[in-house]
Amino acid sequence: MAEDFDLVVLGGGSGGIATARRAARYGAKVALIEAGRLGGTCVNVGCVPKKVMWHAAQLADALRDAPEYGFTAVSDAIRSVHNWALLVERRNAYVERLNGIYARNLENSHVALLHGHGRLCGAHQVAVGERRLRAGRILVATGGRPARLEIPGGERAIDSDGFFALAQCPQQVVVVGAGYIAVELAGVLQALGAQVALVVRGTRLLRHFDTMLGDALAEACKASGITLHFEAQPAAIEAHGGQLAVVLKQGGTLVADQVISAVGRTPNTADSGLETAGVALDTKGRIVVDEWQETSVAGIAALGDVTGQLDLTPVAIAAGRRWADRVFGGQAGRKMDYENVPSVVFSHPPIGSVGLSEAAARERFGAAVRVYTSRFKALYYGVLDHKVDTHMKLVCVGPEERVVGVHVIGAGADELLQGFAVAVRMGATKQDFDDTVAIHPTSAEELVTMA
């Protein structure tokens, strides 16, 4: 006999948990199904452990800079003073604490947690092992996973999940990819003492971001010692005397201890009963949803990475809460606004971006676009022999110069962007920026003093 619920959520990532708890707050009887660890990609093999590794890499950079600030040099070789295993141990312990917090939050919200693989049996039924659940509403938030590198020997490469399982920092690494995952992992490994080569199929990094950001990051990568191979594709990965050899289609071979594939992500839709239930998928296997997160089948909704809308944890959380507000909270107009969503790349240096790139703005608004740019060296580098430039861009539209894009790469970009994202969302103009008194001395002040 089926157990009755108001809502059944497939997937215990950030989006699924946020939706389940918000619906329960409105009095809905909710069940959440998850086969793995709570928290999904972000908590377990994504943003959270990645940010821990990024902080470690930032500390390594600070140690290199410390002598020029008057401190006794620790060592030129970061590897000799860094305990990778201890970092991993403490990082994993933190992640486990978060897993427990998620479980307690669900319990405190009176959400029934079922461990197992959920499979749709129709528009209103889900199977979990031998159990059958019936619900007026079903939400699919099963997330995504790393795409495979489909070449001979591709199984010899690890993916971003495998990066978090590394027991030690490799000496030599080849990273395949040009997106945010590729550049983040490359930056962390280089800073912690690896020799990194980045294999990029196209002509630039971060092709979905403003060109200024990708170009500036390429500059910074080269300066840090990362070798960039543009217009290069791996043809095969071969064993090479205890190491790995990446054979390039364009000719040449790169030898490394570890090869990391960061060639994109694919949705977790396999064996979920979606086709049986009649849920439409796109050509990449992602669930097709409308502006209200509803699928082609009444009663079944979806959000997060499984839909491919924007693969960002805060987006899945926001979309889920708004969906629950509308469906269970009586707020008829609530839905996720996918315009002007800020994003950060935890590269070296970090990147912050919100709104339209210059190219996208010109495509939409043509000659009405005006762009302001700045390139400078942050005060931190004033006493250092090596310098890393900060780049900023404001994209403005119309006679009132409404700011439709803010793009920054440089130290602190990750933290300064949030407030400017609020300004963009509220329709701030260049004059509003100019009329704001600067905070000195900071990098952020450049955004309100550009001429």
Ramachandran sector of residue 242 (left: φ over 0; alpha: ψ -120 to 50; beta: rest): left
- Other Cβ atoms closer than 10 A to 382: 9
- Positive or negative, the Cα torsion across 441, 347, 356, 417? negative
110 given a catalytic annotation: no
Pairing of strands 131-140, 144-146: unpaired
Q: How is the beta sheet containing 227-229 ordered, strand by strand? A: 227-229, 195-199, 172-176, 258-261
Measured from the Cβ of residue 66, the count of other Cβ atoms closer than 10 Å reads 13
Cβ-proximal residues to 101 (8 Å cutoff; 6+ apart), any chain: none
The closest of 268, 221, 346, 187 to 16, measured between CA atoms, is 268
Residue with the two structure tokens 């619906």: 23
Burial class (CB in 10 A: 0-12, 13-18, 19+), 271: exposed
Marked catalytic residue, from 55, 110, 407, 440? 440
Task: Determine the residue type at 48.
Answer: V
3-class SS shares of the chain: helix, strand, coil, % to 5: 35, 25, 35
Say which amino acid occupies 129. G
With 0-12 CB in 10 A as exposed, 13-18 as middle and 19+ as buried, what is 266?
A: middle
How many Å separate Cα 104 from the centre of its chain?
A: 25
Please tell me whether residue 419 adopts helix, strand or coil conformation.
Answer: helix
Q: Quick check: helix, strand or coil at residue 86?
A: helix
Instruction: Yes or no: say if 365 and 418 are a contact pair by the CB < 8 Å rule.
Output: no
Q: Taking Cα atoms as reference points, which of 302, 303, 430, 410 lies closest to residue 353?
A: 410
Alpha-carbon distance of 277 to 185, in angstroms, equals 38
Residues annotated as catalytic are 440
